[in-house]
Structures are given as structure tokens and as C-alpha cells.
Amino acid sequence: MSLFDLQGKTAIVTGAGRGLGEAIAIGLAEAGADVALVTNRTPADKTAARIKELGRKAITIQADVSDRDKLPGIIETTISELGGIDILVNNAGIIRRKPAADHSYEDWQDVIDVNLNSVFVLCQLAGRHMIERGSGKIINIASMLSYQGGITVPGYTSSKHAVAGLTKALANEWASKGLQVNAIAPGYMSTDNTEALRDDPVRSKSILERIPAGRWGTSEDLIGPAVFLASGASDYMNGHILAVDGGWLVR
Ligand code: NAP
């Protein structure tokens, strides 16, 4: 359907070497986009090869997004090699599990740097470019912990609440300039991020019991929502936090 067609569009996806980011990057390419794959420690060669098999362009950019000085390079390289930025997906994220009383300031700072500060700076840099062009789609990856307090992850919860707030703030400013800024809040998805929970029989059981869909999510469950928010099909959506959670929140 042409409403969801991303042919001729260019996307940046952070954390695109594994997990949710890898699936989103491949999904955007399946819908027609060329993609800049940003990774820190995981090479994105496998994701890039898959995208090229689909007949789309893929470039790989190695950058630690918590290093603010590296962020302009992501934007500049994408514009020079792919011709512009239509879609930005801020997916890179980390989680540190420690009770609040023992949560080190270093853990707090690391999580805020990756999950929040990089999102603000990349939105700002890509946003300037999109404002000049009069269009653009930004998708930030939020969380169930954009709504809830979570258990022993105070830094992560704070960062994801802030990502939801930032998404709304930017949507307010940029909707009139032709940009759509929205977020996806994944539920409990089976990736490295949630390995510790799935390995804990007590937490694993209680989480599963609360999911109406009766299963953990998969990376592929995010492809449809990401293509939707990246495409013309969502042109009148601004500042929405789209829960993709198998019903977790409505339980
Ligand atoms: P994951 O499997 O742990 O992957 C984390 C991703 O973030 C990796 O691609 C990693 O890249 C990237 N990353 C981490 N630190 C980085 C840094 N400093 N610079 C650049 N990239 C960095 O996690 P995931 O489950 O796919 O999570 C993706 C996003 O969804 C995160 O924002 C997470 O908070 C959010 N989320 C996940 C779930 C879930 O249930 N899985 C639920 C809600 C929200 P490298 O490997 O290259 O370091």
C-alpha cells in the first residue's frame, strides 16, 4: 500500500546491530527505505547484508551515542552518503538493574547519557535538517517504564519517562513545521535487554501472567508499528506514545 511505502526515504536507526533496532532497520528497508545503521560494539554487517539483499542501500556507522562529540558525525555521514534524513529512530538503550539505595551514580549517569541525552541531541541535529526540508519522522523508543515505576531500575525508568516527555515537547514545537515526532513503547520483548528477567523464574512467571497476549514480544512485533510511524500513514500523529505490549498496560 502506497500509504506505508518508504521508497526513496532514508532512515537512521541507532543500535541496529541486534535486538529491536536490527528488526526495525530491516523492516524499514523492506518497506523501501535506505538505512544508516549506527552501532557501538556490535558490528552491523549482518543487518547491512540483509538490507542490501532487499535491494536497498545500507551504510554502517560506528559511534558510542553517549559521546556527544560523535553525534554530529552520524548526521553528516548519513546526509553525505545517503542524500538526507527522512526518518530517525532513536533505539539505542541500556539498562542497569540495582535497587535504588545501591544504584551507583555512575550507573545512573551512563543510562541517562545513552537513553536520554543522546536522544535529545540526535533529535535536535536531525530536527534542524528536517525543519529545513519541511518534513521528517522521528521515532523514539520508550518503554512500559515510560508509564510505570519498574522494579530496581530507577535510572532506566527516569530516562524512559523523560523520553516520553521529550517526544511530546518536540511534537509541540515541530508539528507545524511538517515533522512528526512519536514514540513506540515496547512491552516485554525477548532480547538481550530482558535476558535477566527471563532467566529469573519468579519475575519471568509474573510478567508472563500479566500479558494478555500470553507471550513475550519479539523484535519483529515492532516492524509494523515502526513502518507506520515512519510513513505517510501517520502524518496526523504527533507526540503519541504507541504501546506495543500484548496488552500489558490495559491489564
Ligand atoms: P538490547 O538487545 O540490549 O540492544 C541494545 C542496543 O543498544 C544495541 O543495539 C546496542 O548496540 C545499542 N547501544 C547500547 N549502548 C550504546 C551506545 N553507547 N552507543 C550506541 N549504541 C548503543 O536491547 P533491545 O531490547 O533491543 O532494546 C532496544 C531499545 O528498546 C532500548 O532503548 C530499550 O530500552 C528499549 N526497550 C526494550 C524493551 C525490551 O523488552 N527488550 C522494552 C522496552 C524498551 P551495541 O551492541 O553496538 O552496543
d(CA 13, CA 63): 12
- Residue 44 confidence (pLDDT): 96
d(CA 170, CA 179): 9
Maximum C-alpha span of the chain: 52
Nearest CA to ligand 1 atom 23: 193
Residue type, 200: D
Query: What is the pLDDT confidence band of residue 196, given thresholds at 50, 70 and 90?
Result: very high
Q: Give the residue-averaged pLDDT of 105-130.
A: 98
* For residue 117, pLDDT beyond 80: yes
**Ligand 1 atom at minimal distance to the Cα of residue 17:** 9
Asked whether the predicted pLDDT for residue 166 surpasses 70, the reply is yes
Count the domains in the chain: 1
Residue nearest atom 43 in ligand 1 by C-alpha distance: 143
Range(s) of the domain holding residue 205: 2-250
Per-residue pLDDT at 51: 98
Report how far ligand 1's centroid is from the alpha carbon of 1 (Å). 30
Active site residue 236: no
Residues 160, 157: Cα–Cα separation, whole Å: 5
The conformational region for residue 79 under phi > 0 = left, psi -120 to 50 = alpha, else beta, is alpha
Average confidence (pLDDT) over 225-247: 98
Q: At 86, which CATH number?
A: 3.40.50.720
Whether 141 lines ligand 1, by a CB cut-off of 6 Å, is yes
Q: Which of 62, 64, 91, 153 to mutate to test the pocket of ligand 1 (most atoms within 8 A of CB)?
A: 91
Identify any residues that bridge with 62 across adjacent strands, giving them in sequence order. Answer: 39
Mutation probe of ligand 1 site: the residue of 46, 89, 145, 191 with most atoms within 8 A of C-beta: 191
Q: Which residues contact 205 (CB under 8 A, 6 or more apart)?
A: none
Residue 62 Cα to ligand 1 middle (Å): 15
Q: What pLDDT does 178 receive? A: 98
Ligand 1 centroid to residue 177 C-alpha, Å: 30
Q: What whole-number percentage of the chain has pLDDT above 70? A: 100
Residues 6+ apart with CB under 8 A from 218: 23, 189, 190
* Nearest CA owner, ligand 1 atom 3: 193
Judged by average pLDDT, the poorest of 55-64, 77-86, 122-131, 191-200 is 191-200
CA 184 from centroid of its chain's CA atoms: 7
Average pLDDT over residues 198-216: 95
Between the CA of 176 and the centroid of ligand 1 the distance, in Å, is 31
pTM over 0.95: yes
What's the rounded mean pLDDT across residues 87-114?
A: 98
Residue 1 pLDDT > 80: no
> Mean per-residue pLDDT for 94-117?
98
